[in-house]
Amino acid sequence: MNRSEWQEGREKREAAALENHRRLHRLFMEDRLAFERERKRAIDDLINSVEEEGQRERLREQQALWDKRMKHAGSPHNRFVLAQTFFWDHLLNNWLPAVRRLNEVANGVKPIMDHPEDTSPKDAS
């Protein structure tokens, strides 16, 4: 695939994504229950597209936790604050330590399983 074919495909994907966003926005404004069903269906489709069963289960657990927390958030502002909190918590407590371990393994500093951050606060007690 040459660059112009890739660019044309990109533009088509972008146009389709924008149209889907407009459709979901209209649905959200007009029929929240239908929007919620569509949201859950899209999430299920994405999770079911993952090949590894263990990863699918972890994704389902994560989505259930997200939905549970958001259900009790109250206001749109609270949901936004919670989403920010989840993002930063995951970045600081999951993503950055994993990147740090990967860097150490890639540079031969330490074996990946000997890192003190490999145990979660729950496991440490």
Q: What is the pLDDT tens value at each position of the chain, 125 positions in all?
A: 677 888 888 999 999 999 999 999 999 999 999 999 999 999 999 999 999 999 999 999 999 988 998 888 889 899 999 999 999 998 999 999 999 989 888 888 765 555 555 555 555 44
Q: Are residues 115 and 101 in contact, defined by beta-carbon separation less than 8 angstroms?
A: yes
Length of the chain: 125
- Alpha-carbon distances, residue 18 vs 13, 22, 84 (angstroms): 9, 6, 24
- Alpha-carbon distances, residue 57 vs 47, 52, 62 (angstroms): 9, 9, 9
Torsions phi, psi for 40 (to 5 deg): -65, -40
pLDDT of residue 125: 45
What's the pTM value of the predicted model, to 2 decimals? 0.63
For residue 101, the tally of other CB atoms under 10 A from its CB is 19
pLDDT of residue 108: 80
